[in-house]
Structures are given as structure tokens and as C-alpha cells.
């Protein structure tokens, strides 16, 4: 790929300088004239009927500009899908978790707003709460949502057929259960939102989000106003990880307060609110039953997963499905049956998260290691026997056009020295591997495609307008790189307007790992169309055919005789003098099965590309304390094509941190009667830079036939395979296969002690 001038090269992100200098503005930094402070009244009860909500006293103090309750809303409920719309933005009938929104206040300052919150009098009838999903399914008292029997929010059933027949043919069968509690995203930026209604009574809103068009439509519905009157504005975002994917009640409450007061309003979450009032990853109880032949090939697998969904649906059907999909994409199976249950409890709401179920994924690979040990098969060989191959179909009938899973395994094994170390390390030293896959997108209906628009300015520089969102992963840089490459400009010549519903066309956002594959492709097509117009003008000036031209370093030149050239700036000005502006649009819609649906029809082409990753981790365990020291990590992923290796390395490192170092060693919540006891960074143990091991990143390029330059999703597979590798390495170090995650010192010590008690003296 050496013919590229910019693509494939290591370059600092275009937003790096502003961020390290503190110039980047986040929502909390916005200050508009006459702006008010918004605050939200939250339920102190996990499950309670709202009898009466009296705001009379709260409206009295000077400086209180508005107090709103559910009675001030249009009663519209939120849910990603029509059949899961169960959440009011301000509750009118019941509070379903500690922190549920019951009222909102706008005041001239924070002190006045907090005083008003205390003066709101809410009368509750306490109802029996339930915090365990298994208990919730057999709850004999009042259901959390009366329209969902047994508190089952979502049931995803996938059965490819002949599962029982293939189990009957199996040489060896194992059934194991794995558990993991909920986890938080803990974005560096606590949630904040600013809203105002302009002179034309259009809602203008700034907030962290994974896709502005995924925010504007729900707000349009909630306020019952046309979509064009909702303007979600671009703002820097301090992390997402799946937690900025959908509308937040604070968005609506802030906008409602702005509507009532006629003034801008800002709501800024405390760190505690950012934990309980946004989203969390699901707690899971997962049972894998796997049957293999004598060679270790999987003939049949049956998986049942119970997920604690919290109080409302959120992205329920997707979240219930994706752990299974990642499994079926990574591994070939003769047949498979999956039953995923997302269950309501009186806990904060759970949504999508980067690791897609650490207990599910880590349990799957742990069981593969257990089967391999029983059959006396090497863990590497076990995975290679079952790994996904290019040109195959997944169990649910998605064609895999590009796949370098085996290459990621081989390269990670070679770099880490896995084969030499496995079984030959000192006592309480271990090494383990994980492999996983993630889809690059999924069917999103009319929001599945992306459009981009490019215009040249008279100085020869270009403006790109794209709906692509940068949640911190480098998407702005990706768009600039692609445009610069195709137009023959330098990155500094590209000016980006993105993620603004008023000025950019529809885009799925970073919601489903499609920003590069779909959004980047749209920008590439728009740039190619724009370049064609430049070449038509330049060809006339240079007296050559357009097909003989190329563009690079701000010049258009003849490929075979590059000394025959003309500056792009001059071509633009010639075009303008001939009364023709240089601009173009481009769009890309992935070819997916539009009939595929998460619950009713989970079969057909899921997306056009899948990424595949392998992580290998080496650890040592202190048998006296249970503490785990990670000695090194090796991460290899099939990224299709590495558009910017420097950016991808950062994404790999973040995936190891979230999926492995934090997700598998330290991150979990403590609860007491539905109240989170560790909602802040002081008590929820996120990994710091000093906690991280040396990380060796390997980018494997399969050159996807549909992705821009062959690129596809990058780093998500590392987050999941890191969870698997950490579990495998610790299990290998202590000689006990762990089934409860994260792997905290108390669990490790208990496992060591139990093993010692079983061993003969």
C-alpha cells in the first residue's frame, strides 16, 4: 500500500494539540448568555409508586425559574425499539431504581437549584424491590413493568437446528456456568447537557453522544415537533465505550426546562450521577454447554445467558444478542442454540458496553481451555481447529468476506512466546490467550448509511461535512486522512464540520463500530467525486485526458510525467472563474439483510465485515495475597487495513485497559438494597497508567473487499479477547479454572485454598 501518501501512515491526531493544551471545549465548558443551572430530583427508593408530587414550595424561593414533573411532559416513552418503549423521561407512576428521575429544576445558580430540589415533596408508596435477576423471574409481588410477565424484558432465541443430534455425536461434553457483575464505563467526562430554544423555537442542544441523529429523532418525538427543529450540535466528547449511544433523560429534562424558562439551561452530572443515571454494563450469569469430537472440533453448543437489565429496556435486544454474535463470529460450530434473557431489576439501567459481556466471553474461552486440557490438546491448536475462516457463513447466516483470525493467533503466539512458555513457567506464573470477533455494524434501517459533502474554498483548501462522531477514538482524524488522500491535499488543508444534525446528513454515528467502514467510505466517495471535477478542469488546462492525472501534495500532475502539473488552488480558481464551484457528495449504505431483527428474525446478513482479534497475557500471582501482576500483553487484530497505526495502537491499549486490566481484575460495583456503594473513582478501581503492563500491538491486514482501503473495525475485538486472556492466564497461574469475574484477590485466594484442600498430602 506504499502508493498512498497519507493513508496507512503514522500521524498525530488532528485534535491532539487542542486537547493536550486544554483548549478543547466539552459540554460542561459551554457558557451561554443568561444560562440557568439545571438539577434533577431523583428517587431515594428502588421501587415505589408515586402518589403525589408537590412542587409548590420549590417554586417559591427567589431565583427558581422553573420546576417540572412528569405532568409537564407529553408522556412519550423511550426505548430503542417500538416494542421496548418503557421509560418516561420523568416518571409519573413509579420509580424503579434509586436515582430514577422524578422532577427537574432550573435556577439562577447551583445553590438555589439544590435548595429547590429539597423543597419538592414526593409522596411514595414503597413497593417490594428485587435486585437479583433470577429472583425477579419468579417475583410474586408487583412486577416492575406490568406488561412484561416474569420481569423478562427481552428473550432472544437462536437455534440453527440439529443441536441435540450433534450433542449425541459428541466425543466429550462440558457444561459450565460463569458469572460477572455489572460494570461502569467511567468516562473521563461526566455527563453534561446544554439546551436552548432559539428565536424560531427550534431546540438547540449540546451533549455527549455517539450519534447526533440518534438523539434528534427521540427528542423530536418527545416534544412532538418536526425533526428539522431539533439541532444536535457538535461538541467534544470525553469517552463513550457504548455509554453515549442513546438519549438520556437529562437531555429531555434540560430541553424542557429551557422551553419553560425561555433561557439556556445546563445540567452537569456529579460523578455519582454519572454512574447511576447513565448506563452500566450488564451483570450476567452464563451457562455454556459444548460438545466436541475427538479432535476438539465443536459439534454443538448451547448457551443460556441471564442478564440483569436494570429498570428499563435501553438497548435491550441488541445487548442481549451481541455477546452471542461475537461468539458465533469468532468460532465455527456444527450447530448452536442460544437463549438470552434480559431481566428487569430495581437497579440502574444497563446498556451496550465495549466488552460485550466479560463473563460470557471469558467463560467461553475458559471452557475451551478446559476441553483442550481434557483432550490433551494445546490451547493454540484448540482455537485454530475452531477459528472462523474467510468465505464462511456464521451460524446465523452472515457471509464473512475477510478474515485473518488464524494470522492473529499465529502472530500473537510468536510475539509472546506462548508455545515455549505454556506449561513451562515457574509456580504461580501463567500465560493465557483469548480470541474474539466483533461485527462492523448491524442493520439500522434508514439510519444505516452515511452521507458526506465536500466543497473547495477559493484558497485551495477543502471543507468536509460528515455526520461521523468522534467519541475519542480518532474518527475526526480518520475523516481528514481519507479526504486529504483522495483530494491530494495535506491534512492541515482539510476543515471538518461533523456530527451536527443541522449541517450534516444522516449517519449511524459510532453506535455500531461502523464509523470507518460506512462513514469513512462515504467521505472517500465524496472526495473521489470532487477530485473528478478537479481533474476535468485540470485536464483541459494541461491538455491531457483526466484518466492520466493524479493528485498529491496540493498538485495535480500527469502520472507518467509529474513535471507537468498545476496547483490545486489554481484549478479551483479557474473553475470559479468559469462559474462552477467545486463540490461533491458521496454516500455509502452497507448491504445487509433488512429483514434481520434482533428478536423476531435473528438470521441473515448482519453486516458487511467482521474484525477478529487475539490477546495473550502473561501474569504472576502472589499466592499469599491473591494479587495479580501482569507482566506483558500481546494484542493482534485483523483490522482490514490500518489507516493510521499510531491511532490504532492507542485503541489497542485502551482495549487492554478496559477489557482486561480493569474489567477482569478490579472493576465491579458494591450494592446495598439497590444503592450503589462505590459510584466514584475513589472506590471503583479503574486502572491507572502505572497499573498497565507493557503492550505489544500487532495489526493484521486482511484488506476487506468493501471497507475503505480495506479497513474495518479496529480494537473492539481486543477488548473482548483481553478479558478472555486475563482469565486464562490467571487460571493457568494458579491451576484452577476461574468461573467468577472479575478476578479479585479474595476469589483467587479462595481458589488456591480450595485446590490445596483437595490435593492429597
Query: pLDDT for 666-718, tens place per residue?
Result: 999 999 999 999 999 899 999 999 999 999 999 999 999 999 999 999 989 99
Query: Distance between CA 643 and CA 10 in Å, rounded?
Result: 8
Phi, psi (deg, nearest 5) at residue 750: -65, -40
Residue 286 shares a structural domain with residue 200:
no
pLDDT of 761 strictly over 70: no
Residue 674 lies in a domain: yes
Min mean pLDDT across 18-22, 419-423, 528-532 is at 18-22
Kindly compute the dihedral angle of the four CA atoms of residues 705, 711, 712, 717, in this order, to the nearest 10 degrees.
120
Rounded (5°) CA angle 11-16-19: 175
Q: Which of 533, 557, 588 is the last residue of a domain?
A: 588
Residue 413 shares a structural domain with residue 545:
no
User: 134 or 356: whose pLDDT is higher?
Assistant: 134
398: pLDDT confidence band, cut at 50, 70 and 90? Answer: very high
* Domains: count for the chain: 3
pLDDT of 758 strictly over 90: no
Residue 460 shares a structural domain with residue 424:
no
pLDDT of 386 strictly over 60: yes
- pLDDT (tens digit per residue) in 222-255: 999 999 999 999 999 998 898 888 999 999 999 9
714: which strand partners?
A: none
For position 760, what pLDDT does the model report?
Answer: 67
Question: What integer is the mean pLDDT of 732-759?
Answer: 96
Query: Distance between CA 187 and CA 658 in Å, rounded?
Result: 11
Residue 383 lies in a domain: yes
- In the chain, count H helices and then E strands: 19, 32
Min mean pLDDT across 52-61, 237-246, 483-492, 680-689 is at 237-246
Residue 426 shares a structural domain with residue 459:
no
Residue 387 lies in a domain: yes
Residue 320 shares a structural domain with residue 220:
no
- pLDDT (tens digit per residue) in 79-101: 999 999 999 999 999 999 999 99
Residue 332 shares a structural domain with residue 272:
no
Using DSSP's 3-state secondary structure scheme, residue 699 falls into strand
- pLDDT (tens digit per residue) in 116-129: 999 999 999 999 99
Query: Distance between CA 403 and CA 552 in Å, rounded?
Result: 32
Residue 342 shares a structural domain with residue 430:
yes
Residue 270 shares a structural domain with residue 285:
no
Residue 184 lies in a domain: no
All three cell numbers of 310, joined, read 436494570
pLDDT of 382 strictly over 80: yes
pLDDT of 10 strictly over 80: yes
Residue 154 lies in a domain: no
Residue 144 lies in a domain: no
For position 66, what pLDDT does the model report?
Answer: 98
Q: How many CA atoms lie within 13 A of 377 on its CB side?
A: 21
- pLDDT (tens digit per residue) in 322-349: 999 999 999 999 999 999 999 999 999 9
Structural domain boundaries, residue 753 = 280-443+596-758
Residue 574 lies in a domain: yes
pLDDT of 1 strictly over 50: no
- pLDDT (tens digit per residue) in 500-516: 999 999 899 887 889 99
Residue 320 shares a structural domain with residue 252:
no
Helix (H) or strand (E) holding 718: helix 716-734
Q: Which of 588, 620, 635 is the last residue of a domain?
A: 588
Residue 387 shares a structural domain with residue 346:
yes
The DSSP line for 635-673 is: EEEE-SS-S-HHHHHHHHHHHIIIIIIITTTT----EET
Query: Distance between CA 479 and CA 463 in Å, rounded?
Result: 11
For position 383, what pLDDT does the model report?
Answer: 98
Residue 37 lies in a domain: yes
Residue 456 shares a structural domain with residue 343:
no
Instruction: Round the average pLDDT of the chain to a whole number and report it.
Output: 96
pLDDT of 2 strictly over 80: no
Q: How many CA atoms lie within 13 A of 187 on its CB side?
A: 30
Query: Distance between CA 471 and CA 208 in Å, rounded?
Result: 8
Residue 462 shares a structural domain with residue 365:
no
Which residue carries 460463569 as its cell? 178
Using DSSP's 3-state secondary structure scheme, residue 479 falls into helix
**Tell me, what CATH number does 314's domain have?**
3.30.365.10
For position 141, what pLDDT does the model report?
Answer: 87
Amino acid at each position: 500500500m506504499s502508493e498512498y501518501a497519507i493513508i496507512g501512515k503514522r500521524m498525530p491526531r488532528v485534535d491532539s494539540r487542542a486537547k493536550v493544551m486544554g483548549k478543547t471545549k466539552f459540554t460542561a465548558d459551554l457558557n451561554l448568555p443568561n444560562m440557568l443551572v439545571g438539577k434533577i430530583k431523583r428517587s431515594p427508593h428502588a421501587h415505589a409508586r408515586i402518589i403525589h408530587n408537590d412542587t409548590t414550595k420549590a417554586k417559591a424561593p427567589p431565583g427558581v425559574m422553573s420546576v417540572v414533573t412528569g405532568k409537564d411532559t407529553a408522556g412519550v416513552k423511550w426505548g430503542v425499539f417500538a416494542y421496548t418503549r418503557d421509560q418516561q423521561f420523568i416518571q409519573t407512576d413509579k420509580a424503579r431504581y434509586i436515582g430514577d428521575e422524578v422532577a427537574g429544576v432550573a435556577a439562577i445558580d447551583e445553590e438555589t437549584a439544590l435548595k429547590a430540589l429539597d423543597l419538592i415533596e414526593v409522596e411514595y408508596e414503597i413497593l417490594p424491590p428485587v435486585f437479583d435477576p433470577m429472583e425477579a423471574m419468579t417475583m410474586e409481588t408487583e412486577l416492575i413493568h406490568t406488561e412484561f410477565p416474569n420481569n423478562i424484558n427481552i428473550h432472544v432465541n437462536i437455534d440453527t437446528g440439529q443441536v441435540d443430534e450433534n450433542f449425541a455425536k459428541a466425543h466429550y461434553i462440558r457444561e459450565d456456568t460463569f458469572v460477572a457483575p455489572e460494570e461502569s464505563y467511567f468516562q473521563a467526562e461526566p455527563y453534561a447537557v446544554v439546551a436552548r430554544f432559539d428565536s424560531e423555537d427550534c431546540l438547540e442542544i449540546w451533549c455527549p453522544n455517539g450519534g447526533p441523529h440518534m438523539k434528534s429523532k427521540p427528542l423530536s418525538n418527545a416534544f412532538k415537533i418536526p425533526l428539522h427543529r431539533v439541532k444536535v450540535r457538535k461538541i467534544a466528547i470525553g469517552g463513550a465505550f457504548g455509554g453515549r449511544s442513546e438519549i438520556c433523560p437529562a437531555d429531555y429534562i434540560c430541553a424542557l426546562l429551557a422551553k419553560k424558562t425561555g433561557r439556556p439551561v445546563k445540567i452537569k452530572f456529579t460523578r455519582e450521577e454519572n454512574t447511576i443515571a447513565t448506563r452500566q454494563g450488564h451483570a450476567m450469569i452464563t451457562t455454556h454447554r459444548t460438545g466436541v469430537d475427538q479432535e476438539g472440533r465443536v459439534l454443538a453448543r448451547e448457551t443460556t445467558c441471564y442478564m440483569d437489565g436494570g429498570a428499563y429496556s435501553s438497548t435491550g435486544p441488541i445487548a442481549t444478542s451481541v455477546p452471542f454474535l461475537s461468539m458465533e463470529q469468532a468460532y465455527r460450530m456444527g450447530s448452536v442454540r442460544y437463549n438470552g434473557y434480559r431481566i428487569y431489576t430495581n437497579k440502574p439501567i444497563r446498556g451496550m458496553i465495549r466488552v460485550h459481556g466479560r463473563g460470557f466471553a471469558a467463560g467461553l474461552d475458559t471452557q475451551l481451555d478446559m476441553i483442550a486440557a481434557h483432550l490433551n490438546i494445546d490451547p493454540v491448536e484448540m482455537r485454530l481447529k475452531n477459528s472462523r475462516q474467510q468465505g464462511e457463513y456464521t451460524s446465523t447466516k452472515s457471509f464473512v468476506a475477510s478474515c485473518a483470525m488464524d494470522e492473529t493467533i499465529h502472530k500473537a503466539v510468536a510475539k509472546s512466546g506462548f508455545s515455549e512458555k505454556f506449561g513451562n513457567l515457574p509456580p504461580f506464573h501463567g500465560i493465557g490467550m483469548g480470541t474474539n470477533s466483533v461485527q462492523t455494524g448491524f442493520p439500522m434501517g434508514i439510519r444505516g448509511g452515511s452521507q458526506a459533502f465536500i466543497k473547495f474554498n477559493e484558497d485551495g483548501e477543502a471543507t468536509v461535512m460528515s455526520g461521523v462522531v468522534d467519541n475519542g477514538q480518532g474518527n475526526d482524524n480518520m475523516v481528514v486522512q481519507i479526504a486529504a488522500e483522495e483530494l491530494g491535499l495535506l491534512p492541515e488543508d482539510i476543515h471538518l464540520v461533523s456530527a451536527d444534525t443541522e449541517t450534516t446528513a444522516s449517519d449511524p454515528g459510532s453506535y455500531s463500530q461502523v464509523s470507518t467502514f460506512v462513514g469513512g467510505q462515504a467521505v472517500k466517495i465524496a472526495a473521489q467525486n470532487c477530485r473528478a471535477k478537479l481533474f476535468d478542469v485540470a485536464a483541459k488546462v494541461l491538455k491531457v485526458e483526466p484518466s492520466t492525472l493524479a493528485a498529491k501534495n496540493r498538485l495535480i500532475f500527469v502520472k507518467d510525467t509529474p513535471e507537468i502539473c498545476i496547483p490545486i488552488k489554481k484549478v479551483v480558481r479557474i473553475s470559479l472563474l468559469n462559474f462552477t464551484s467545486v463540490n461533491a457528495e458521496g454516500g455509502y449504505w452497507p448491504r445487509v439483510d433488512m429483514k434481520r431483527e434482533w428478536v423476531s428474525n435473528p438470521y441473515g446478513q448482519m453486516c458487511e465485515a467482521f474484525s477478529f482479534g487475539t490477546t495473550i497475557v502473561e501474569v504472576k500471582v502472589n499466592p499469599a495475597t491473591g494479587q495479580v501482576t501482569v507482566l506483558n500483553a500481546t494484542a493482534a487484530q485483523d483490522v482490514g487495513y490500518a489507516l493510521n497505526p499510531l491511532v490504532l495502537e492507542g485503541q489497542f491499549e485502551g482495549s487492554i485497559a478496559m477489557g482486561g486490566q480493569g474489567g477482569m481484575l478490579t472493576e465491579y460495583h458494591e450494592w446495598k438494597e439497590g444503592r450503589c456503594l462505590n459510584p466514584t473513582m475513589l472506590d471503583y478501581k479503574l486502572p491507572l497508567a502505572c497499573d498497565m503492563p507493557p503492550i505489544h500491538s500487532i495489526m493484521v491486514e486482511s484488506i476487506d473487499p468493501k471497507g475503505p482501503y480495506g479497513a474495518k473495525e479496529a480494537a473492539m475485538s481486543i477488548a473482548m479477547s483481553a478479558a478472555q486472556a486475563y482469565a486464562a492466564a490467571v487460571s493457568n497461574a494458579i491451576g484452577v479454572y476461574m468461573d467468577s469475574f472479575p478476578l479479585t484477590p479474595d476469589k483467587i485466594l479462595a481458589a488456591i485454598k480450595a485446590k490445596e484442600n483437595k490435593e492429597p498430602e
